[in-house]
A = this chain, B = another copy of it.
């Protein structure tokens, strides 16, 4: 393995001069160029371990995320990986496990090995204790999620998204609108997005002077939604308009409607949230968000913060955009 010493010797300078030439340090232009050429010839690359030991910096960013096998998290990580690469940071992944079984371990992990220059969590609500654990790390911390005291955060303006979806149905004349989503207590009940979207739904109805239906509580999966929808459509007062907390839920409702012999949108209108890759094939009207872009914002900020901390802690709510497709029709004549 070729070390700095090799480069220095071959270039006829001291290690420190070589080191300066390779980084920012003050060296004559001639020396710098010379050292750089030698280094290139020798394919020299600094040992990350040595650099880290000497500087305290690791060149990597840590991620704490729930199970990736959801469209949202996976797409977010894609954006993050891309942005990290652009800033020349490595990405270290810590997964909470399918049922959050490694959740406690995650925070301890980063506390013990201090091997990242910045950390972030994504897609689950941090407890106050966890926020404390992250802040104690003494490195920049960010999160993809709702407003969290003490941490810089980003996410879709979920309340606005719920409101937008609901208003879209109101605009087509619907007066009796159901909200589907928000899951029962369970170990991995980590999201608050569904709650916020429901709040937006309530707010839109309230402004219109309309009463909400009781919310359908369910896990945010196609399977759970389909099962729930089957029950909803079998009832006497079957819903004619549905705001789903996510596209996966919306898809479950669409599948169940068809199975019940109902037509979308003639018999039921459905709006989702996400603009999931499958949404178009379902001809689903939805409120769009772009997790990859959210990841980019996060990493860009963290990278800057590592260089010179600003101490910012505010929340950024990203504006929702409605994508109109064919799953919403006019309200049935009363």
Contact = CB atoms under 8 A, between A and B. Distances in A.
A217 interface: no
A80 to B, nearest CB: 9
Contacts of A69: 71, 74-75, 78, 277
B93 A78 contact: no
Query: Quick one: copies of this chain in the complex?
Result: 2
Most chain B Cβ neighbours within 10 Å, of A60, A78, A98, A255: A78
Contacts of A47: 53, 114
Interface stretch (A157-165, A195-203, A278-286): A278-286
Contact of A221 (B60, B75, B255, B277): B277
A81 B53 contact: no
Interface stretch (A84-92, A181-189, A297-305): A84-92
Interface in A54-92: 58, 60, 67-71, 73-75, 77-78, 81-82, 85, 90-92
Contacts of A70: 74
A295 to B, nearest CB: 11
A71 B75 CA distance: 11
A315 to B, nearest CB: 25
Interface in A209-240: 221-223, 226
Q: Please classify how large the interface on chain A is, using the bins under 10, 10 to 19, 20 to 34, 35 or more.
A: 35 or more
A281 B258 contact: no
B52 A81 contact: no
A68 B60 contact: no
A157 B221 CA distance: 29
A98 B82 CA distance: 9
A55 to B, nearest CB: 9
Contacts of A26: none
A37 B229 CA distance: 57
Nearest to A227: B281
Contact of A258 (B48, B114, B258): B258
A1 interface: yes
A252 B223 contact: no
Given A53-B50, A78-B68, A252-B281, A113 B221 contact: no
B60 A67 contact: no
A115 interface: yes
Given A68-B68, A81-B95, A91-B93, 12 more contacts: A47-B114, A68-B81, A69-B71, A69-B75, A69-B78, A77-B95, A81-B94, A85-B95, A85-B105, A90-B92, A223-B280, A255-B282
26 contacts: A1-B114, A43-B112, A45-B113, A49-B50, A49-B52, A49-B53, A49-B58, A50-B53, A68-B68, A68-B74, A69-B74, A69-B78, A73-B74, A78-B95, A82-B95, A82-B97, A85-B102, A85-B105, A90-B92, A221-B277, A223-B278, A223-B280, A223-B281, A251-B278, A255-B282, A278-B278
